[in-house]
Structures are given as C-alpha cells and as structure tokens.
Chain A
Amino acid sequence: MIRHQVYISPNEVKVDGKALTIKSCGSAMLTDLYREHVGDYPKFFKMDTLSKVGFIASELLLNAEGDRSFDPREDRAVIFFNRNASLQDDTAYQATIQDPENFFPSPAIFVYTLPNIVTGEIAIRNKYFGETSFMVIDSFDEKIIMRNLENAFQDPITKSIIGGWVDCSDEEHFEANIFLMEK
C-alpha cells in the first residue's frame, strides 16, 4: 500500500500530489530545497546529482510521513530504479582520465560511479540497516517497478519500502518519482 509519494523534476516538485512552491530550477532548486526542508546535513553538498535528487526526495517523503525518528531500524528497505545508472558521474570521472597529459583520476568522483550509492546515502542518514537495492531498466516501466517492490516483501524483515524511480543524466536533468510503501 502506498502511503506517500514525491515527484521531482528540474522545474516541479510535488508531495502527495500537491505542488511545492519553488524559487529556482535544476541544480539550484535542489540546493534551495535542501536549505528550506533539510538544512542540517552538510554531507548533501558532497553528493553527486543522483544522490542529491534521491536524498531530497526521500527527505520530503519522510517529512510527509511525519514524526521523524533517527532510531536504527532494519524493517525499511530502500529500492530504486533508473535508466542512466550513474552516467553523470561516469562522464565526469572519464573527464579526469581522458587526457594522458592531465591524468588525475578523482577518488571523490569515482566513489559515486555506482548508482546504488544514493540508497546508501539514505540508509546512512536514517540509520536503516534493511535492504538497499538498485536496478536499471532502459525505460520507466511502472509494472516492472511495482512487481519488484512487491517481491521485496518476501524478505520477512521488510515491512516498508522507500522505492521508485530516481534518474539523472546530467546536473540539470533529473527525475524522481518515489513513494513510501507498506506491506
């Protein structure tokens, strides 16, 4: 059963179907959303865009759930899907090694060249010891996403899931459509 839903695109943010007023677009919007709705987690600035989008979406989702608690728990999973995996970071990392004359591989970028890092960022923020998974399909397909999220409840520990679509092709192009789902 879906309890809450958050949608983010570069120029629109909706929580449970209701549009939030936003002052800016694209990457600037993500920073504004952080300052207005989170504010106390400076690690946000070090994240890549995919993680920023997933992180902000999860914060809005959990604020909508209310009664934020940061007590460790194992019964909540974080399971995301997208199309581009970690393409933005892959491209950024490739740029640090492309030129043999200017070859400086960046560890801080390389660490984000895995799409599942965003699920880890959310688990760390909220102390979720439960399942974290990331899957890629070449186009958004609600049926496949819902089927796999339903499947995840086969783990007897999992009682709720932050799940859905979190995609990013570059710093200014991204989309999140995630929800809080209960067994």
Chain B
Amino acid sequence: MIVCVSHNIISPLGSTSAENYAAVKSGKSALRRYDGLWGLPEPFVASLMNRDDDKNGRYTIFEKMIIESAQKAISDANIDAASDRVLFILSTTKGNVFLLDKRETGFPKERVRLGMAAMQMTEYFHNPNTPLVVSNACISGVCAQIMAMRELEAGNFDYVVTVGCDVQSAFIVSGFQSFKALSPDECKPFDANRCGLNLGDAAATIIYTKKDKVGDNEWVAYRGAIRNDANHISGPSRTGEGSYRALMAVLGDLEPSKLAFVNAHGTATPYNDEMESIAIERAGLSGVPVNSLKGYYGHTMGAAGVLETIMSMQAVDDNNILATRGFETLGVTHPLDVTNKNRSTEKHAFIKLLSGFGGCNAALLMAKGGLR
C-alpha cells in the first residue's frame, strides 16, 4: 500500500502543517483585499505570501517556496533526497510565469519553463532524477499524488516527494478577472450568495512510500482516478460527468458510511459548486458531509490538491470535520450536507475531489490504517 511518510504546508497561515491546521481549525483566513497591487486596475481579494525579500538572490519566490516545503517534509521523513531511488514530482499550473513580464529582470527567462523551475529544486537536493511536472490545471495536486502512487506501485522508486505550488501574479489574477470568475469579497463555497473565487499562494508537500503492512495511524493513499467531462474546455459539465465518474472509480465497493467527509473543490463559482453537488449526489454521497477549504486559502491552484489532502488528513487525525468558511445557506440544487462549523467524526477515510479547465476531474480516496 502507498503510505504517507511526512508532509508540510507553507502558506500565509503558517509554515508547517500543524500551524496551518491550528489556524484553520480556529477559523483564521489570510484572505484580504488588495487595491492597486501589481498595477492591476481592479481590486481583488486573495491570500498572499509576503514578497518583500524576493527581488535578489538565487531563487524566485516560487522556487523558494517549493524548496522550503520539500526541505521540511524531507527532514521530517529523514530520507536521503540525493538518492536515485527518490523521485520529485512537482504540481503546478503556472510556475514562474511572472518572469514573462518585461519588468521582471532578476532571473533568466528560461526559468519560466516548468521543468527548469522544478530542476532548481532537484539540484538543490542533489537529486539525480529528472523531476516530473504535472500541469493538469486545477486538478494537478491530486494528479501528482496519483502519479506518485503509480511510480511506487510499479516499484520504480522507494520514495516520491510530491510538491504542489503556485504563486499569484498579475498574469493569473487578470486572467481570472477577465473570466469574471473572481469574487469581490471573501468567497462563499456552496452558499446561495456565492459569486466567484479568490486566489491564493501556497506550497505543500507529501512524501509517499510503499509498504506491505500499515499501522493503524498511517495514512494510505488508497485509490485515485482522473476522468474528463468530454463537454467543454472551460465550462463544467451540467451532469457532473467527470467528477461523478472519478468518484465512482475511487469508491469501488466502499460503503459511503465509511467516509468522514468529501473535501470538495468548492471554489465558490456558481457553476463549479453546482456541478459538484450533482456529481456527489449521483455518486450516492449526499449523506456524507462535504466541506471546502477555499474560504481559508483561496484557490491555491497547483498546491490545492496537496494542501487540502494534508489538511483533511490532519482533521481526521483530530476526529474533526473542518468547517466550510464562508458557507451559510445551501445554494446548490442538489442536497449536500455542507459543514458550516467544525464537527466531530470517528471515521477514518475521506475523498479529496477536484475539477479544472480542460474538463478534467480527479478524486483521491485516503484511508487511515487502510480501509477497515
């Protein structure tokens, strides 16, 4: 079985997984309004890291974050990152894209290539393997974990360091503004008054290995699946086709009552949350609590799948289902049990669900101590 060895989250809410969990459990969010930042004509609400010291030096803020997050997870796992039996997988959508801006002159433009950015990290750790970058839109973080599971299952490596990261910039924010997809206030996942998403900076790392026997407190990445809507490159499917199929694939013959919760994508755009409600109901999971963490972090893009998996593992470890910050009144047409406050649970498994542009969807079933 594929087992989580260690993890880390770096976000505006903290630089360890534990700090992040404590902040979120107490309802903290780093979302705030930015007016005139990066010369953008329209204000926006986002969860951003401090960028003060990133003008000079060897690494961009993106590279610093992936190295720091990987470093912390590697040191907790106590593994030799320089070994050829260790693979690095990076999940990101836009990497160093801000280097395309003509006003950015501090770094070579070639670092805009995702593979080059990833190599800054592997070279830092003296790892000899070519890093794999998963760039599958907003589902990248779960896809990267699925790719890690497959490499370990095939016996190709002993450890896979899976790092997810994106940092916001004028490029990304203006793009989402041009889609009219951003909320002018803090986002409200699944709420009747939701009107768009917020964006966020974060890096998160999970290290996986393969084990024959699993302890009761060890987290198993049990099954993952990626499916397409085959409908539209930017609009979610009206039948939730891809998410529904991904959910069915990871559920297998598992009783829904074994699940503590489904940690949804829950971006708080009108279409995404509605689509997820359709998919979750179709998959027979309307009785399972649902939450979204976008109200704490915004949408952290390439980091989201990794970060939200780590937060969900910590919640189950704490016998807790995290509240969906920003949610008050159900605003989707299919009945969902969305958590509006922290809630206790005795269950040991959850599903992480994501969907993204290109019609892609991904689900990951995580089970503490394996399925029992």
- Consider the complex of A and B and state whether they touch directly, i.e. have CB atoms less than 8 Å apart: yes
Report which of B137, B153, B171, B242 forms a contact with A116, defined as CB distance below 8 A: B137
Asked if A155 contacts B245 (CB within 8 A), the reply is: no
Asked if A148 contacts B175 (CB within 8 A), the reply is: no
Question: Taking the nearest CB of chain A, how far is it from the CB of B242, in angstroms?
Answer: 7
Report which of A114, A123, A138 forms a contact with B135, defined as CB distance below 8 A: A114
Asked if B134 contacts A133 (CB within 8 A), the reply is: yes
Footprint of B on A, CB under 8 Å? 72, 74, 78, 83-85, 87, 90-91, 93-94, 97-98, 100, 103, 105-107, 110-111, 113-117, 119-121, 123-124, 126-139, 141, 144, 147-148, 150-152, 154-155, 157
CB-CB contacts below 8 Å: B125-163 with A:
130-137, 143, 147, 150-151, 153-154, 156
* B225 beta carbon closer than 8 Å to chain A: yes
Asked if B227 contacts A105 (CB within 8 A), the reply is: no
| Across-interface contacts of A111 in B (CB, < 8 A) | 179, 233-234, 357
* B39 beta carbon closer than 8 Å to chain A: yes
Given A93-B175, A105-B178, A155-B249, output 15 extra A-B contacts at Cβ < 8 Å.
A85-B133, A87-B113, A106-B178, A110-B179, A114-B135, A117-B358, A129-B227, A133-B136, A133-B226, A134-B134, A136-B113, A136-B115, A138-B118, A150-B154, A151-B150
Complex interface: stretch among B9-17, B69-77, B94-102, B276-284: B94-102
Asked if B151 contacts A93 (CB within 8 A), the reply is: no
| Across-interface contacts of A110 in B (CB, < 8 A) | 175, 178-179
A120 to B135: give the CA distance in the assembly, Å. Answer: 13
| Across-interface contacts of A155 in B (CB, < 8 A) | 225-226, 249
| Across-interface contacts of B114 in A (CB, < 8 A) | 85, 136
Asked if A91 contacts B225 (CB within 8 A), the reply is: no
A90 to B356: give the CA distance in the assembly, Å. Answer: 18
Q: Which residue of A lies closest to B223 (CB)?
A: A155
Asked if B233 contacts A103 (CB within 8 A), the reply is: no
Asked if A94 contacts B171 (CB within 8 A), the reply is: yes
**Given contacts A114-B357, A121-B233, A154 and B154 within 8 Å (CB-CB):** yes
A148 to B156: give the CA distance in the assembly, Å. Answer: 10
Question: Taking the nearest CB of chain B, how far is it from the CB of A123, in angstroms?
Answer: 4
| Across-interface contacts of A120 in B (CB, < 8 A) | 228, 233, 357-360
Number of B residues near A (Cβ < 8 Å) is 57
* B230 beta carbon closer than 8 Å to chain A: yes
Report which of B130, B136, B230 forms a contact with A123, defined as CB distance below 8 A: B230
Asked if B101 contacts A98 (CB within 8 A), the reply is: yes
Asked if B132 contacts A131 (CB within 8 A), the reply is: no
* B241 beta carbon closer than 8 Å to chain A: yes
A141 to B133: give the CA distance in the assembly, Å. Answer: 13
Q: Which residue of A lies closest to B151 (CB)?
A: A151
* B232 beta carbon closer than 8 Å to chain A: yes
Asked if B228 contacts A123 (CB within 8 A), the reply is: yes
**Given contacts A114-B135, A124-B359, A137-B130, A91 and B230 within 8 Å (CB-CB):** no
| Across-interface contacts of B226 in A (CB, < 8 A) | 131-133, 155
CB-CB contacts below 8 Å: B28-81 with A:
39, 41
Q: Which residue of A lies closest to B180 (CB)?
A: A107
Q: Which residue of B lies closest to A127 (CB)?
A: B230
Asked if A93 contacts B171 (CB within 8 A), the reply is: yes
A157 to B97: give the CA distance in the assembly, Å. Answer: 35
**Given contacts A84-B113, A114-B93, A137-B115, A94 and B233 within 8 Å (CB-CB):** no
A103 to B225: give the CA distance in the assembly, Å. Answer: 40
